[in-house]
Amino acid sequence: MNNKISKRTKLLDQGVYLLMSQGYHATGINEIVNAVQVPKGSFYSYFDSKEEFAAQAISHYIEPFIQLLTKHLHSQVDSLTALKNYYAELIVEVEKNGYKGGCLLGNMMGEIGDTSELCNQALKSAVERYKLLQYKALLQAQKEGTVRNDRSAESMANLLVNNWQGALLRMKIEQSVQPLQEFCDTLLNDYFVA
């Protein structure tokens, strides 16, 4: 990895961490560059503004989730089981991390989703990419006969994305994975099942 990409990636990694832990408005550019130990001018060679940085941090944040979900969907199990396994892995990670942060997408939607057009577009794009993978998995599960056919795969994928965000918010205040477990039990183990 060349130095330019490495610095940019470090800035985005640190930005995701700070945005998750303290929010957009409480995170300053100086704090990000000091943590990564790069001059402030370097920040502006990669990003035009804090807002553009936040939009790119959103895209950076979703990528590992897209990759992990894709890995599960390409495993040697049926599509519904792959979705269950994916969410089970996320729940284990959240518990390991002490229920911190929740989801950068949900946090940013709540904080600046309706005030920053640039971040709004990045959030919509990230959610759409994430939902599309789940839609395809549910469509496949319908073909496999494991997921009900009287509801569209599209509406069920929306239910997954929307309910997961809500469960993550409740997890943060309750300091428990119970809302996430209920999400899996209600949707993936009951409502969606053929």
Q: Given this model, what pLDDT does residue 21 score? A: 87
CA distances from 27 to 19, 127, 158, 174, 175 (A): 6, 23, 31, 25, 24
Q: Given this model, what pLDDT does residue 98 score? A: 76
Q: How far apart, in whole angstroms, are the C-alpha atoms of residue 168 and residue 27?
A: 22
| 108 or 132: which leads in pLDDT | 132
CATH architecture of 51-191: Orthogonal Bundle (1.10)
Look over the chain and give the mean of its residue pLDDT values, rounded to a whole number. Answer: 90
CA distances from 153 to 34, 120, 159 (A): 46, 25, 10
Which amino acid makes up residue 68?
A: L
Q: Given this model, what pLDDT does residue 2 score? A: 56
Which amino acid makes up residue 162?
A: N
Q: Given this model, what pLDDT does residue 169 score? A: 87
DSSP 85-99: HHHHHHHHHHHHTTT
Rg (CA), the chain: 18
Q: How far apart, in whole angstroms, are the C-alpha atoms of residue 110 and residue 130?
A: 18
Question: C-alpha angle 114/117/122, rounded to 5°?
Answer: 100
Q: What is the pLDDT of residues 144-170, one digit of tens each?
A: 999 999 999 999 999 999 999 899 888
Q: Given this model, what pLDDT does residue 4 score? A: 57
Question: C-alpha angle 116/108/134, rounded to 5°?
Answer: 110
132's CB contacts (< 8 A; 6+ apart) are: 157
Chain center to CA of 106: 8
Instruction: Give the mean pLDDT of 19-37.
Output: 90
User: Has residue 1 got a pLDDT over 60?
Assistant: no
Chain center to CA of 142: 25
Q: How confident is the model at residue 5 (pLDDT cuts 50, 70, 90)?
A: low
User: Has residue 12 got a pLDDT over 70?
Assistant: yes
Q: What is the pLDDT of residues 29-80, one digit of tens each?
A: 999 999 999 888 889 989 999 999 999 999 999 999 999 999 999 999 999 9
Q: Where are the domains of the chain?
A: 51-191
